[in-house]
A = this chain, B = another copy of it.
Amino acid sequence: MLLHKIAEVREKVKEWKKQGLTIGLVPTMGALHKGHLSLIKKSVDNCDKTVISVFVNPIQFCPGEDFEKYPRTLDADTKLAESAGVDIVFAPTPAEMYGEGHILSNDFLTYVVPPFFYTDKLCGKSRVGHFDGVCTVVNKLFNIVQPDYAFFGEKDRQQLIIIKKMVKDLNIPLEIIPCPIVREDDGLAMSSRNKYLNPEQRKEALVLKDILLNIKACYNSGIKDVEALTETAYKFLKSCHNLEYLEFRDKNDLELKKVADKDTIVFIAVKIGEVRLIDNISLDS
């Protein structure tokens, strides 16, 4: 069922709650791919009812980012979701979510602001305000759908860590379920933004997983020093790869690591042409 209005979703949710059914929420920006489908499957398998939101959230895009050209494929998304067992596809307009006539800024909107220590690094460094927008919209979706479980991909690992922190800090009554990264056959992490890549760039995009897998192999062979592990990346980088960051951080609080251990996540962001790609790997197991 495709719904556009908050009140319609609330009504269905109320019905379900009365019947004692559990609800899973998968927040998305649409342009669904196999990564999203793995989240949806986990929700459908584990919850009585599954809601996915399809909303390209204006307040999490920074000036100059791809808000306008971000892929919007609602018809295809709805079909895909429903055939995967989704009960509600919630696709509100920006006006439905934020009201009409106001500038979408913290002058006139209540924001949920994650801690600076979590947002002043990695993607938050170049995307100022991005995670404020993410936390605000996710908080809204939580209040609208009131799920028992919410599913987030490990692809956006910093986001996942920040959402978990928000849930803990604000005592939000639900559980966050992390879902592993889904990859193309050649290892590229699934992302709606992969559509922006031309064939040449698509090949060059493998550099992210090449670097991460090599670091993991070196770690497993006994190298724990982060500086030494970082250096192993350089042989993969070509002039067409604009490395934004390659960092080793704690999986819970994003503290920087000097010595890698099983709690370490390696985060990478590379720009290839105009396309910014991210990936990450856990050194555990």
Contact = CB atoms under 8 A, between A and B. Distances in A.
Interface in A5-37: 6, 10, 18, 20
A140 B110 contact: no
A95 interface: no
A144 B172 CA distance: 7
Contacts of A166: 110
A198 interface: no
A115 B146 CA distance: 24
Interface of A: 6, 10, 18, 20, 106-117, 135-136, 139-140, 143-144, 146, 165-166, 169-173
25 contacts: A18-B20, A106-B116, A107-B115, A107-B116, A107-B117, A108-B115, A109-B115, A110-B112, A110-B114, A110-B115, A110-B135, A110-B165, A110-B166, A111-B112, A111-B113, A112-B113, A112-B170, A136-B170, A139-B170, A140-B171, A143-B170, A143-B172, A143-B173, A144-B171, A146-B173
Counting from the closest, the 3 A-B pairs by CB-CB distance are A110-B169, A143-B171, A110-B166
